[in-house]
Structure 1
Amino acid sequence: MPNLDLALKDMMAIDGALGVAVVDYGSGMALGHLGSSNTFDLTVAAAGNTEVVRAKLRTMEQLGIQEEIEDILISISSQYHIIRPVTGRKGKGLFMYMVLDRSRANLALARHRLKDIEQNLEI
């Protein structure tokens, strides 16, 4: 089972990956991140996307939706941002965050690989 560092490296190996992080949505802190870009700061993105996850979970609770979020996709003109809550027993309260270069990434394949990495993640 991959540990955090290996999971981050596996995430960065996905075609088009620009940056990745594993984030605690209770605190908004990134437990780890890889990648860099002049256009975004992963620690700022981790904190900001924590609010996205919290808002969606609150909304689902208010609506009585008893399902788990698979992922949240935000697409902008040059990038895909994927937020995937960790559902495993040892990862509750965490989410995986990935930024992909839209011109190089295969979104379906990236989502599939992220799911595999998430299922094996142990923190």
Structure 2
Amino acid sequence: MASVDISLKEIMTSIEGALGAALVDYTSGMALGTLGGGKDLDLAVAAAGNTDVIRAKTRTMEHLGIKSDIEDMLITLSHQYHLIRPLKGRDGNGLFLYLVLDKGKSNLAMARHQLKRIEAELEV
């Protein structure tokens, strides 16, 4: 099992094109850990904003009677991919991994695969 810091470091080093990553509590909107980002990518602001995305999708699924779990959510921008992956299991309830990728330098399928693998090893 890996700690939050180790998992974020692994995301940034093993996923090609990673620009920033965070572990976020979507009940509060607070980032429990961040790595990367910069002046053009404020991960604390992104964490809080994407909390609203998770809440809205969860609420919509409830209204529609959809009983499925969200594996991940993808937001595609001109030059970036933003991946939101709610954590599964008892330790991850209410948390999600957030990953920002450079669209020109990343392989989305591999990034999703790696993020799933890292999530499985994460101990919160």
TM-score range, shorter chain: over 0.9
Deviation per CA, 1:59-114: give whole Å up to 9, x if none.
Answer: 01111111110000000010000000001211100000000000100000000000
Aligned to 2:94: 93
> Which position in structure 1 is the counterpart of 2:12?
12
Q: Which residue of 2 aligns with 1:102?
A: 103
Deviation at 1:122, TM superposition (A): 1.1
Q: What do the CA deviations read for 1:27-66 (whole angstroms, capped 9, x no partner)?
A: 0000000002332200000000000000000001111111
Q: Post-superposition, which runs of at least 4 consecutive aligned residues in structure 1 deviate over 4 A?
A: none
Question: TM-score, normalization: structure 2?
Answer: 0.97
Counterpart residue identity of residue 12, structure 2:
M
Q: Which amino acid aligns with 1:65?
A: I
Q: Is the 8 A contact 1:23 1:97 kept in 2?
A: yes
- The residue that corresponds to 2:38 in the other structure is 37
- Structure-1 separation of matches of 2:67 and 2:121: 23
Once residues 10 and 61 of structure 2 are traced to their aligned partners in structure 1, the CA distance between those partners, rounded to angstroms, is 30
Is the 8 Å Cα contact of residues 88 and 119 (structure 1) preserved in structure 2?
no
1-structure distance, mates of 2:105, 2:38 = 15
Question: Matches of 2:92 and 2:5 in 1, distance apart?
Answer: 14
Aligned twin of 1:3:
3
Amino acid at match of 2:17: G
| 1:64 counterpart letter in structure 2 | G
Number of residue pairs matched? 123
Cα RMSD, aligned residues only: 0.7
Measured in 2, the distance between the counterparts of 1:120 and 1:25 equals: 20
Q: Percent sequence identity over matched residues?
A: 62
Q: Report if the CA contact (8 A) 1:15-1:104 is conserved.
A: yes
Query: In the aligned structure 1, how far is the partner of 2:38 from the partner of 2:105?
Result: 15
